[in-house]
Amino acid sequence: MGVNAMGFSLRINSSVCFTQNPPKPSSKPRFLTVRCSLPLSSDGSATGLAERPWKVADARLVLEDGSIWRAKSFGASGTQVGEVVFNTSLTGYQEILTDPSYAGQFVLMTNPHIGNTGVNFDDEESRQCFLAGLVIRSLSINTSNWRCAETLGDYLAKRNIMGIYDVDTRAITRRLRQDGSLIGVLSTEQSKSDEELLEMSRSWDIVGVDLISGVTCNAPYEWVDETKSEWDFNSDGRDRETYRVVAYDFGIKHNILRRLASYGCKITVVPSTWPAEETLKMKPDGVLFSNGPGDPSAVPYAVETVKKILGKVPVFGICMGHQLLGQALGGKTFKMKFGHHGGNHPVRNLRNDRVEISAQNHNYAVDPASLPDGVEVTHVNLNDGSCAGLAYPALNIMSLQYHPEASPGPHDSDCAFREFIELMKSTKQAA
């Protein structure tokens, strides 16, 4: 193989060099010329050079508004479309990754430093990662946690989830707060032009899409695991009587089931399409309608199921379940500008005037003005005044727009599970 030489020269001002015999002062600067040469291979590239010790930008986030954000990739490679939302949680990225309510969305973490605790297999909130991708500012180069089983990058790669970092997450968050949630495309494929990716973002929509069918279980199963003793709380004064609960899986998180089990519930989890008649044949003491992704108006079959159960047994709706209850009662839901995503949202309990710091994850809300007489708004989000909880005592209904199990987040609202137990207990005693 023929080898040529590539030469270059470097001129150095000798007056600023540190030598044993510095030159005498002169009005004209004196320069030293150092000539170097590097061997060239037959294709013209320099040989003997080490690879760059840093990663270069190899990914793009293209938003439907036309903005293009260059970034570095980690996790899986390829091209993916989704709705971009921002999450303000400071911790708990693994629980966020495995929350089925994020199906179809890119989650942007406003906390800049992500990945420092790695991942473990105790903090999974579902059987897999359902989100479309992860957007962060800084990816930790090492992990430091006694429970760490693998790095965040390896974890995402094994689950075929794309991630990007070294992108200005503050600027993107400001854009989302100003313009609302935006559809975007993540891509590491250099063969795709910016125009192609922009067209993809503008031709896809998340509104009206049934995302629940992609995250629900396939068949009923029994859940028995409680919150582990080292993580348990609010255990004093629990009624140890057993209550039979049927939980509709619209994208249910494991810690909702653990908290119910810890309060003495025997739980049967059923798919989102499970007939109401079959549920009532089980003779449950109560029914839970779980959290889940997407637009409640895209799942009319779920609304019909809720309608058939109302008034038969006590019910508790969480997040998507809360929205489905609102529609089943005759109310309307609407898409919020950028939704609520994070573990630090203040909510006022109107019944006891107590403020709870809550974990939230939703892009839709119930319009309280559309609800019929008798339905009580029990909780209000203090950031924007939106409806955060409902009750209809005549039909033994209670619901919360946010997550009382947190995971991640504070435990201020865990008492909601105790209230559901009391609702089932009082109904049972009155029968």
How far is residue 180's CA from residue 306's CA, in Å, rounded to a whole number? Answer: 30
Please say whether the beta carbons of 146 and 120 come within 8 A.
no
Q: Which pair of structure tokens corresponds to residue 366?
A: 């119930």
Q: Is 415 a catalytic residue?
A: no
- H and E: helices and strands count for the chain: 9, 21
> How many Cα neighbours within 13 Å face the side chain of 362?
31
How far is residue 102's CA from residue 212's CA, in Å, rounded to a whole number? Answer: 11
Q: Is 403 a catalytic residue?
A: yes
Burial of 165 (0-12, 13-18, 19+ CB in 10 A): buried
Is residue 296 helix, strand or coil? helix
- For residues 374, 292, 139, 199, the Cα torsion angle rounded to the nearest 10 degrees is -110
From 64, 83, 356, 405, the catalytic residue? 405
C-alpha closest to that of 145 among 112, 120, 111, 113: 120
DSSP state string for 207-223: TT---GGGTS-SS-EEE
Beta bridge partners of 188: none
What one-letter code names the amino acid at 160?
N
Handedness of CA 267, 270, 275, 281 (dihedral sign): negative
How far is residue 252's CA from residue 268's CA, in Å, rounded to a whole number? Answer: 12
From 129, 265, 319, 387, the catalytic residue? 319
What one-letter code names the amino acid at 299?
V
C-alpha closest to that of 72 among 120, 15, 158, 138: 138
Handedness of CA 106, 98, 127, 418 (dihedral sign): negative
How far apart, in Å, do the first and last CA atoms of the chain sit? 92
Q: Is 265 a catalytic residue?
A: no
How far is residue 140's CA from residue 144's CA, in Å, rounded to a whole number? Answer: 10
How far is residue 250's CA from residue 304's CA, in Å, rounded to a whole number? Answer: 14
Q: Which pair of structure tokens corresponds to residue 321?
A: 């379940």
How far is residue 399's CA from residue 365's CA, in Å, rounded to a whole number? Answer: 12
How far is residue 322's CA from residue 325's CA, in Å, rounded to a whole number? Answer: 5
Catalytic annotation, residues: 319, 403, 405
